[in-house]
């Protein structure tokens, strides 16, 4: 079954909505240790800074600083799918403010 996606949604116009989500790391993920933290259950997740955004997010460009080596869950998060569209709705079209 093919999942429907919204072709009008692109990462270039999204302003990093997904970068506020909890990102559980998997065994094959190769993320720099300084960008990770242990969760209360002993698993590893992407760290977040005090502003709630992922520690790997460039605050000036709203782009991932480890995009080529991003976690599997980030890689599999489909641009324009139902989850993506819901996050955009939840935080607004451009929730990340640079500067």
Domain boundaries, given as residue ranges, for the chain:
24-91
pLDDT(92) > 80: no
Closest CA to 72 of 27, 22, 34: 27
Query: Is 15:62 a contact under the CB 8 Å cutoff?
Result: yes
Q: Regarding predicted confidence, which is higher, 85 or 53? A: 53
What mean pLDDT is predicted for residues 65-70? 92
pLDDT one-digit tens code per residue, 8-51: 666 666 667 788 889 999 999 999 999 999 999 999 999 999 98
CA-CA-CA-CA dihedral for 48, 52, 53, 58, to nearest 10? -90
Return d(Cα 93, Cα 65) in angstroms, integer: 21
pTM of the entire structure? 0.74
Q: Return the structure tokens found at 34.
A: 């300084």
pLDDT above 90 covers what percent of the chain?
Answer: 42
Predicted local distance difference test score (pLDDT) of residue 4:
55
Q: Which residue has the tokens 């990462």?
A: 11
């Amino acid at each position: 079954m093919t999942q429907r996606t919204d072709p009008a949604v692109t990462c270039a116009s999204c302003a990093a909505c997904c970068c506020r989500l909890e990102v559980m790391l998997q065994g094959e993920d190769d993320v720099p240790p300084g960008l990770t933290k242990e969760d209360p259950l002993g698993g590893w997740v992407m760290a977040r800074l005090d502003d709630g955004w992922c520690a790997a997010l460039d605050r000036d460009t709203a782009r991932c600083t480890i995009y080529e080596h991003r976690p599997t869950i980030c890689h599999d998060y489909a641009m324009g799918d139902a989850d993506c569209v819901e996050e955009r709705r939840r935080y607004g079209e451009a929730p990340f403010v640079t500067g």
